[in-house]
Chains A and B, each alone.
Chain A
């Protein structure tokens, strides 16, 4: 009796999680569509200066006001999504793929290469992330590309660690041993039997990482090491307006709100994907 109740509760939970997943996926897709078509939907040229319209407060004409150069903040925030979101997705994509490949190979083959790569990853993990990224970005110079490289250099070990531990756990389970006995090559083992089974945790980590990476990229730009003026990028826009937070708050609040909304959507999507892929829920499938 109690077993039936548990299964029902799990089914209800599963349905709720599925609903949430669809909801946040729709939000994320809307966000991506806005980003892709940003150039076409902005009401003004985000880079066109009009000093006669400097510092206009939010109004029906300029929904988020204008900045000190008279540029429309709403247009800049929308176009800024391209730099912020695409850079973040590219960053997460690169580090998750690279980290997974490295981690899987290390876990599967082990030995000296594994020890060396893992010590390198330990070095990367030993430093506070943003401080290390700051140092690398300062070396490389300003620019979104360099900021992405700086964050990639410090972030890939997380994925390598996850992939390696999952691979180690899988390496000796009976179905993998059976596959080996049946004559699979190492490449086949990794591609057919290991990778598909470790992708779940990697995907969850990547989804949860999007918000964090977006914040860190915006942070580097805010500190002047990411996107450079006049590029419309949220962190860079916040940095440009911070001296006027008390007098013209929309200069900071507009890009701040954009970061907040985007990070919340991707974080909640990540949480939901994690819940959805949770083995506790899988029994109800």
Chain B
């Protein structure tokens, strides 16, 4: 009797376990499925869109979407919260956006007419007074913007805005198209979280730095109907997580995917939107005398050997999977100001000869050269949020070792703090959009001049300063291009800046996503055109 009872109990348990393991056709969908944009789209309810980005984080100087703080204007403009007066077309020319027109009345005066229809997402009309308030706050709190814009005064009259600069500023409108130029409603102000009210197709509702940003549709959008109801931007810095999130459907599109992951998405379920950009992988040499390695980095032969010892073509062809092109100067040759510069190309034998001639010899047979008892050690500072930068570092480490240099890589998200310590690095390698504004001045102003906010290597050249002063007041585009070429050559002759490659930037999305287009300036991502079919 007991045996029968035991068998019955085991049977009951088995049935229970099997029932628990099975899935019911009527069972509700998982939370992940509920959040899927495509299922919502199919059912005709709210359309939601989840975007994964590995650059929206504090280490990238994008902690919030407040355009008046560091580089936070980038997420503001990228995610469709803010818009600028003019827009940069893919060929680098300016197009009207919030402004109907911009006229250079004289060398220091600009008249800008704001479009009548423009309003902020809170419904307030965006007139010249609102733009004035925004720009005045910008130049008050944002050092880089104030240096670039050189605004002396602003007058507002209805839709007409008159800007007077303290000195001729030929590229004022280009600078106003930089991400920090997003027009925000200063009456609403900036929340403690860094949320602002702009004129774009989306309205920020929640922001957690380094985690996510929630957006909703701007029902007052002035430039057409917005198709997506809710957007979530997820900060996903790990390349594998980003790839797997897109593959599993957790996100609908991704920015900054590692090229090594591209083959996973080269099928009918996904699509790419890519474009050649001026985003350049380049290195800045540390010239500081406070640097304990000053004896190394101040030696022109060492800098030349570094320039000769990096296999740019191999990096582009293999490590960027061909999604890029080698760089000679700071700007792509598609721009007039990127043509005609000359730089060292990969030649390890010449690099060895240069070092040998300069007295760098491997005396102890360990493969690393020495001079006056100093080992030829280069501290290479870079960061992982641009996923290809560590690959460039490791590739250069191997090729430079062949010529007798010991490259020690410091690959850290903290690079923006470390680069400010002149004793902590020898070459800082980053990836920046050098000609995003369609003009060369911004690159030099940001990285190469005595008063540049990011001239962390302390580079100085009298000739460069002289040329920069000329560039600042030159209105003729061809003349500007000539000056920019000469300035680049100045940097290249000295090997104080080493340019490796430009990037072909791509965004990858699910096949049913439309209206997500990559742009050469890398500013515009989520627009009113974004939709899920």
Q: Which residues on A are within 8 Å of B, measured CB to CB? A: 47-49, 51, 54, 68-70, 228-230, 242-244, 246-247
The reply to whether B261 and A230 form a contact with Cβ atoms under 8 Å apart is no
In the complex, chain B residues 361-417 whose Cβ is within 8 Å of any chain A Cβ: 390-391, 394-395, 397-399, 409
Additional 19 contacts, C-beta under 8 A, given A51-B311, A230-B398, A244-B261: A49-B398, A49-B399, A51-B314, A51-B318, A51-B395, A68-B319, A68-B391, A69-B395, A69-B398, A70-B318, A228-B409, A230-B394, A242-B240, A243-B240, A243-B243, A243-B260, A244-B260, A247-B260, A247-B263
In the assembled complex, B317 has its CB within 8 A of some CB on chain A: yes
Query: How far, in whole Å, are A258 and B333 apart by their CA atoms in the complex?
Result: 48
Give 24 A-B contacts (CB < 8 Å), ordered by A residue: A49-B399, A51-B311, A51-B314, A51-B318, A51-B319, A54-B318, A68-B260, A69-B319, A69-B394, A69-B395, A69-B398, A70-B318, A229-B409, A230-B397, A230-B398, A243-B239, A243-B243, A243-B258, A243-B260, A243-B261, A246-B263, A247-B260, A247-B263, A247-B264
Query: A68, B390: Cβ atoms under 8 Å?
Result: no
Q: Find out whether the CB atom of B264 lies under 8 angstroms from the CB atom of A246.
A: yes
How distant is the Cα of A18 from the Cα of B57 in the complex, in angstroms?
A: 59
A51 touches B317 (CB 8 A): yes
CB of B367 to closest CB in A, whole Å: 11
The 6 closest A-B pairs by CB, nearest first: A51-B314, A49-B398, A51-B318, A247-B263, A54-B318, A243-B240
Among A51, A229, A244, the most chain B Cβ lie within 10 Å of the Cβ of: A51
> Closest CB of chain A to B409's CB: distance in Å?
7
* Complex interface: chain B residues within 8 A of A229 (CB): 390, 394, 409
List CB contacts (< 8 Å) of B426-457 with chain A: none
Contacts of A246 in B (CB 8 A): 263-264
User: Which of the four size classes fits the interface of chain B?
Assistant: 20 to 34
Given contacts A54-B318, A68-B391, A243-B239, contact A47 B258 (CB under 8 A): no
Residues of A within 8 A of B391 (CB): 68
Q: Are A47 and B239 in contact (CB under 8 A)?
A: no
CB distance from A48 to the nearest CB of B (A): 8
Residue in A closest to B387 when the chains form the complex, CB atoms: A243
Interchain nearest-CB distance for B527 vs A (Å): 30
Give the CA-CA distance A104 to B193 in the complex, in Å.
56
Expressed in whole angstroms, the minimum distance between the Cβ of A226 and any Cβ of chain B is: 14
Q: How far, in angstroms, from A22 to B101 measured CA to CA in the complex?
A: 87
Q: Distance (Å) between the CB of A274 and the closest chain B CB?
A: 35
Query: What 0/1 readout, one digit per residue, does chain B (234-247) give for beta carbons within 8 Å of chain A?
Result: 00000110010000
Decide yes or no: A68 and B318 within 8 Å by CB, A229-B390, A246-B264 being known contacts. yes
What's the minimum C-beta distance from A67 to chain B, rounded to whole angstroms?
10
How far apart are B23's CB and chain A's nearest CB, in angstroms?
Answer: 26
Give, as a whole number of angstroms, the nearest-CB distance from A47 to chain B: 7
A39 to chain B, nearest CB (A): 15
CA A230 to CA B411, docked complex, whole Å: 12
Chain A residues with Cβ below 8 Å from B394 are 69, 229-230
Instruction: Give the residues in chain B near A69, CB-CB below 8 Å.
Output: 319, 394-395, 398
Contact flags B297-321 to A (C-beta < 8 A → 1, else 0): 0000000000000010010011100
Q: Determine whether the beta carbon of A47 is less than 8 Å from that of B398.
A: yes
In the bound complex, CA of A69 to CA of B260 (Å): 12
Complex: A243 Cα to B311 Cα, angstroms: 23
The smallest C-beta distance from B248 to any residue of chain A, in angstroms, reads: 12
Write out the residue numbers on chain A whose beta carbons fall within 8 Å of the beta carbon of B317: 51
How far in angstroms is the closest Cβ of chain A from B11? 37
A68 to B264, CA, bound (A): 16
Closest Cβ–Cβ distance, residue B158 to chain A (whole Å): 55
Cα-based distance from A243 to B241 in the complex (angstroms):
9
Nearest A residue (CB) for B319: A68
CA distance in complex: A18, B491 (Å): 72
Q: Mark B207-240, 1 if CB is under 8 A from A, else 0.
A: 0000000000000000000000000000000011
Bound together, the chains give a CA A229 to CA B408 distance in angstroms of 10
Closest to A247 in B: B263
User: Once bound together, how far apart are the Cα atoms of A228 and B408, in whole Å?
Assistant: 10
- Give the chain B neighbours of A68 by CB distance below 8 A: 260, 318-319, 391
Cβ–Cβ < 8 Å partners of A243 in chain B = 239-240, 243, 258, 260-261
Min C-beta distance of B251 to chain A, whole Å? 16
In the bound complex, what is the Cα–Cα distance between A70 and B314 (angstroms)?
11
Q: How far is the CA of A69 from the CA of B395 in the complex (A)?
A: 7
A80 to chain B, nearest CB (A): 16
Shortest distance from the beta carbon of A275 to any chain B beta carbon, whole Å: 34
Distance in Å: Cβ of B425 to nearest Cβ of chain A: 15
Residues on A with C-beta less than 8 A from B243 are 243
A residues within 8 A CB of B240? Answer: 242-243
A49 and chain B: residue at smallest CB distance = B398
Closest B residue to A47 by CB, please name it: B398
Alpha-carbon separation in the docked complex, A69 to B319 (Å): 8
